[in-house]
Amino acid sequence: MAEPVLALVRLAKSFGALKVTDGVSLDLRPGEVHALIGPNGAGKSTLIHQIAGSIRPDAGAIHFLGHDVGQLSVAKRARLGLARSFQVSSLLLDFSALRNVMLALQARQGSSFRFWRPVMRDKALTDRAMAMLERVGLAARADIAAGALSHGERRRLEIAVALGLEPKAFLLDEPMAGMGPEGSKELTRFLDGLRQEAPILLVEHDMDAVFALADRISVLFYGRIIASGSPAEIRADAEVRKAYLGEPQ
């Protein structure tokens, strides 16, 4: 089996007396969508924050592409290719879709950027940014302000921005939130293709999307993984049905 891209090892985090992450171990393998589901307050977002680096775990390890990233800043993890997405606020809503992607690329190029030949520089940057918009199906919307895009288009623009970091893994926290049924279906199709760019750790409440996309599902309940397996295994798991899917036994 291929080496995991991302691996959590016995991660633990408490807020006061509340154990929000209680010895969580899970991994993400190349090419897969691994969904993390669980009822409200189970600790899914807190886990994503720990992987991205915005919350420090109390114990345990986070391995990403062979690095122990547990002590690294959010920015350093992002530079290694850990792309957290769907913080819509990270888009500049007054700027065009194209400009948003160009700014992200520019930020990544940082000081290695050459200031001479500005026209060439802009052309190269524009071409790369357009290529990313094409990859997410937004090339025709390049000149539209991010704030004027539909919900689903904005999510795809977020992905285009993330592609500028040449991600090696995506952390997607509730991408379907606020979408109507049609938008969810369209985004599901899009995410299905996105796994070819990099594997996806998907936190999502929309079970249609989860069962359509996931190769594996892990179920978090009061900070603990109570089950992990294929969609069919999770559907058939008695503990999961009782604890989470709300079905009486």
Ligand X SMILES: Nc1ncnc2c1ncn2[C@@H]1O[C@H](COP(=O)(O)OP(=O)(O)OP(=O)(O)O)[C@@H](O)[C@H]1O
Residues that bind ligand X (CB under 6 A): 15, 18, 20, 38, 40-46
Please, what is the minimum distance in Å from the beta carbon of residue 228 to ligand X? Answer: 16
CB of 52 to ligand X, least distance (A): 13
d(CA 137, CA 120): 25
Compare residues 190 and 222 and give the one whose CB is closer to ligand X: 222
* Residue 233 to residue 220: CA distance in whole angstroms: 15
Nearest distance in Å: CB 206, ligand X? 12
State which residue, 20 or 219, has the beta carbon closest to ligand X: 20
Q: How far is the CB of 62 from ligand X (least distance, A)?
A: 16
Nearer to ligand X, 15 or 113 (CB): 15
DSSP H/E element including 68: strand 67-68
Q: Using the minimum distance from each CB to ligand X, give the nearer residue, 45 or 106.
A: 45
Nearest Cα neighbor of 34 from 199, 173, 190, 162 is: 199
Q: How far is CA 155 from CA 55, 86, 127, 221, in A?
A: 24, 6, 21, 28
Nearest to 58 by CA among 7, 8, 15, 6: 15
Closest CB 146 distance from ligand X, rounded Å: 24
- The Cβ of residue 244 has, within 10 Å, a number of other Cβ atoms equal to 20
For ligand X, the closer CB: 20 or 91: 20
Nearest approach in angstroms of CB 182 to ligand X is 23
Least distance (Å) between residue 34 CB and ligand X: 16
Strands 82-85 and 169-173: parallel
Q: Which is nearer to ligand X, 20 or 149 (CB)?
A: 20
Query: Closest CB to ligand X among 44 and 216?
Result: 44
Nearest-CA neighbor of 241 among 25, 208, 202, 233? 233
Task: Give the chain's end-to-end CA distance (angstroms, integer).
Answer: 35
Give CA–CA dist 53/47, Å, rounded: 10
